[in-house]
Structure 1
Amino acid sequence: MTNRQKDDEGAPVPKKLTPAARRALAEAELRRREADAAPARPVEINGRRGVEPTRYGDWEAKGILSDF
C-alpha cells in the first residue's frame, strides 16, 4: 500500500498538476464539449447493417471477401 496524505475529513489530498497537465486537461474538456455539441451524423439509407466493415480492413459481400 502507499501512504497518501489525507485531509481533515479523511479524503485523499489531490496531487499538484504541472502546467502542461492542466493545459492538457483543459484541451480535453474543450474537445469533449465540442464533440457533444456537434450535430448528429446522418443515417445511411439502404446501407449495410451491422459493424462498418471498412473499419476492420476487409469487406465481404455475397460470400466474396476482399482486402483493401
Structure 2
Amino acid sequence: MERFLLNTPKQPDIKILNSIYAKMVLDKALRDFRIEKIHKEIDQSLQVRDKGKFQRLTDELKILS
C-alpha cells in the first residue's frame, strides 16, 4: 500500500536525470578532447612560427577554459 504525503515535491524522472548526466559527461569529454587538440596545435604553430594560428588557437583556448 502506497502512502501519499502532502506537500512533498515530485521526484524527477530518473530517465531525464540520466540523460542530463550523460549529456554533461559527453560535453565534458568533447571539451577536454578539443582542449588537448588545441594544445597540440599551439605547439605545432610555435614550431613553425605561425603567429596568426597561434593567436587564433590561444583565443579559442581562453574561451574554452
The interval holding the TM-score normalised by the smaller chain is 0.3 to 0.5
Higher helix share: 2
Looking at both structures, which has the greater relative contact order when contacts are Cα pairs under 8 Å and sequence separation is at least 6?
2
Larger gyration radius, structure 1 or structure 2: 1
For normalisation by structure 1, the TM-score amounts to: 0.34
